[in-house]
Copies of this chain bind each other. A is one copy, B any other.
Amino acid sequence: MRKTLKAFSENLDSIPPADGKRSEPCVLLTRYRSVRRFSERLCKPLVNEDYVIQSMPEASPTKWHLAHTTWFFETFFLPAVDKCYRLFNPSYKYLFNSYYNAVGRQYPRPQRGLLARPTVAEIWNYRERIDECVAGILDSDPSLSSEAAQILDLGLNHEQQHQELMLTDLKHLYSCNPLRPAYDTCRFSGPTHSCALRFDHYPGGVHWIGHDGSSFSFDNETPRHRVFCEAFQIGSRPVTNQEYLEFIEDEGYQRPELWLSAGWESVQTKGWVAPLYWEKQDGKWMMMSLAGPREVRPDEPVCHISYFEADAYARWADARLPTEWEWEVAAQDAAEEGSFVEDGYYHPLPLRSGQNQGLAQMLGDVWEWTQSAYTAYPGFRPVAGALGEYNGKFMCNQMVLRGGSCATPRSHIRTTYRNFFPPETRWQFSGIRLAGDAA
């Protein structure tokens, strides 16, 4: 699927993919610079104040993202290639450690917004210095060890994850502000195209699931293994705002029988009546986008909904969510079109004419909640050492999402990719693809 990935947009940074063959240092350097530069590009629209604030415990200030992704290279890559490496600033080891107990104590996550210093300028400087160190090594070292190359690759994928978080965290931050600031004047998505939902059928059988190790993947995508899927069907495209509005108007948020017990409690205690960022004004549904407030467009995929809402919608629609292996089986056949962060829409796009065959938008646009809890694949072994804390220790009380979104870098996603969030999470670009049992 990756090989024929098509570009929707011209302004895509050409980021050489991590392709599994251990790359030459010079290729790595190009890729390193390209990924790092993209983080900077995402900050272009910001004023200094935007970098500083943490709008909720789950989010982080932009400057923290910029520092933490740099910390990752400084902590894991530089010491692996330079035994004499000395820290840029010893206190950063503590301040920008997210959750790696093996590295040491961590500055408390909910207090990331209390750090007026280091300043944004100091963090840019930190990035520059670490970039120089990394570039110096990649320039000079013709024989990067396989382990070091893997860490570098991991660091770049890690930074790409934070690129997505930078956008979703900023969106949340702006949504708290009655002045309704916009991140950017986003690209216009063009005329929309209404298109009926179909279901594609798959027979039962044993399938291979997971990543085969021929290129970069996170450890949680491995090992490749077999699962038995009973026959199922899966929707041809994500659920749209129009369809979700019918659920709202049918009193979906008022009917406990549609909801998981914990979901119904969320509805009541949090007062949910619509997706996050929606607001009814003068009888019309408006929403916050990264381009500022605007009307809800009927043909766009619904997004910013929790697992609970996705599950309740599916029950209302007499369907269900796919398991993550059903999703992965189906994705292997799918067209590889979708909208990613480089396209600059910063919002999921309506289906285009011509996308009406096969499964559309499996990659990009919206993350798709599956009904699978995030857990270890059979035979899963986390990476040794501190980096083993990257994914494995979160395998509890989280649901798997698949496929990436309009805020995901294109070179970051693949069909085996497992994203995960607690079921009440709404600030990601998360949406719905329906599934069902065999008729």
Contacts and interface: CB of A to CB of B under 8 A. Distances in A.
Interface of A: 47-53, 55, 91, 94-95, 99, 101-102, 107, 111, 113-120, 173-174, 176-179, 181, 204, 206, 225-230, 232, 256-257, 259-264, 307-308, 311, 320, 323, 371-373, 375-376, 378-379, 388-389, 393-397, 399, 423, 437
A437 B376 CA distance: 12
Nearest to A99: B261
B379 A437 contact: yes
Contact of A257 (B95, B99, B101, B262): B101
Nearest to A49: B116
A116 B181 contact: yes
Contacts of A55: 114
A262 B423 CA distance: 15
A228 B256 contact: no
Contact of A230 (B102, B107, B225, B389): B225
Contacts of A48: 48-49, 119-120
Given A47-B119, A99-B261, A101-B257, 13 more contacts: A49-B52, A49-B117, A53-B53, A101-B264, A117-B177, A204-B226, A230-B379, A259-B393, A260-B393, A261-B393, A263-B396, A372-B375, A396-B399
Contacts of A311: 396
Contacts of A120: 48-49
B394 A261 contact: yes
A50 B399 CA distance: 38
Contacts of A111: 176
Given A257-B102, A261-B99, A423 B396 contact: yes
Contact of A373 (B47, B179, B264, B373): B373
Contacts of A206: 206, 228
B53 A179 contact: no
